[in-house]
Amino acid sequence: MIKTGLKIEELKSVNDLISLKGKTAFITGASGGIGRASACILAQAGANICITDLPQQQQALDEIADYLSSAFGVKTMTTALDLTDEEGIVDMIGKVAEEMGTIDIVHSNAGISSPEDNADMSMEFWHKIVATNLTSNLLVSRESAKIMRKDGHGGSIILTSSMSGYIVNRRPPGQHHIVGYCTVKAGVRQMAKGMAMDFLGDNIRVNSISPGYVLSGLHASWSDELMDYVTSNIPMGRFSDLNEIMGPILFLASDMSSYCTGTDIVIDGGFTVW
């Protein structure tokens, strides 16, 4: 057994470790802030990009794809689908692999939240948030892993969990606390760990990220009072911006993280420390 480390001249360059040139990345929920940022950083690293979101987001997807191909010279593809449709996901993943050649990287990022989310939520909403935020991650990951396994090159699967999978987001006195979102995001993180162990033999790594409050457009309708209240509970005293989400995504997608599987990266400005 080798018991010594590499000599300094044998260490790889950071450019080689982080490069995704020649690989194909598939990102769901790509019209939103985190998905858009993910597609951008992976394209900058050289990956060809396929992005998807709901059918009503087709124009936004086309604009993102056009920008990525123009700015970074990568091949792009868009597809639109409701990710609660199992048969549709199976068909979509097959078409992506056929058109793009294969799938090497997946960022399963699609998700929803709603003011309806509280302990008195309707069963209709409960089933919707479970299907969209949890089951879709299983389906996208499972079908993409089949492609990686068939093509024999392994890959990296990244799931978007949330700091809400660790804690219950604080709300001002008298307001409801979210229940479904916290539940399913905890499930996403555990799902990543379980799939990581199941896919070890296929050289497929599965990890997750858990962002905190990110300025991504979702909070545009929030009052100044609510923004101030939430910010006061963040140890760093501010929301993150999308630039601060891109680094962990690129790390997990690239060979920089080749010894990481089943791990979760929390990006929350210290929120979950307390």
Q: What's the rounded mean pLDDT across residues 136-150?
A: 97
With respect to residue 1, please indicate whether it lies within any of the assigned structural domains: no
pLDDT band at 274 (very low <50, low <70, confident <90, very high): confident
With respect to residue 5, please indicate whether it lies within any of the assigned structural domains: no
Q: How many domains does the chain have?
A: 1
Could you say which of 136, 161, 162, 216 is catalytic?
Answer: 162
Bridge partners of 211? 267
With respect to residue 270, please indicate whether it lies within any of the assigned structural domains: no
With respect to residue 6, please indicate whether it lies within any of the assigned structural domains: no
Which range of residues forms the domain containing residue 160?
14-265
Give the CATH number for residue 68: 3.40.50.720
Compute the Cα dihedral for 176, 172, 32, 72 and give only its sign: negative
pLDDT band at 223 (very low <50, low <70, confident <90, very high): confident
pLDDT digits (tens, 9 = 90+) for 147-200: 999 999 999 999 999 999 999 988 888 888 899 999 999 999 999 999 999 999
pLDDT digits (tens, 9 = 90+) for 97-129: 999 999 999 999 999 888 899 999 999 999 999
Active site residue 185: yes
Using alpha carbons only, what angle is made at residue 109 by residues 138 and 124, rounded to the nearest 5 degrees? 65
Tell me: pLDDT of 79 over 90. yes
Q: What's the rounded mean pLDDT across residues 14-32?
A: 96
With respect to residue 271, please indicate whether it lies within any of the assigned structural domains: no
Give the whole-angstrom CA distance, residue 253 versus residue 256.
8
Structure confidence at residue 234 (pLDDT): 96
| Percent of the chain scoring above 70 in pLDDT | 100
Residues in the chain: 274
N-to-C CA span, the chain: 43
155-160 and 48-53 as β-strands: parallel, antiparallel, unpaired? unpaired
Give the whole-angstrom CA distance, residue 77 versus residue 116.
34
Report DSSP state, residue 6.
-
Structure confidence at residue 222 (pLDDT): 83
Active site residue 113: no
Could you say which of 136, 185, 210, 257 is catalytic?
Answer: 185
Could you say which of 161, 181, 240, 254 is catalytic?
Answer: 181
With respect to residue 9, please indicate whether it lies within any of the assigned structural domains: no
Structure confidence at residue 58 (pLDDT): 96
Q: What's the rounded mean pLDDT across residues 58-63?
A: 97
Q: Give the start-end residues of each E strand in the chain.
A: 24-28, 48-53, 76-80, 105-108, 155-160, 204-211, 264-267
Token code pair at residue 274: 């307390």
With respect to residue 133, please indicate whether it lies within any of the assigned structural domains: yes
Instruction: Kindly state the greatest CA–CA separation across the chain.
Output: 62
Other CB atoms within a 10 A radius of the CB of residue 263 amount to 17
Active site residue 181: yes
User: Is the separation of the CB atoms in 164 and 178 below 8 Å?
Assistant: yes
With respect to residue 261, please indicate whether it lies within any of the assigned structural domains: yes
Structure confidence at residue 182 (pLDDT): 96
User: Is the separation of the CB atoms in 46 and 21 below 8 Å?
Assistant: yes
Tell me: pLDDT of 217 over 80. no
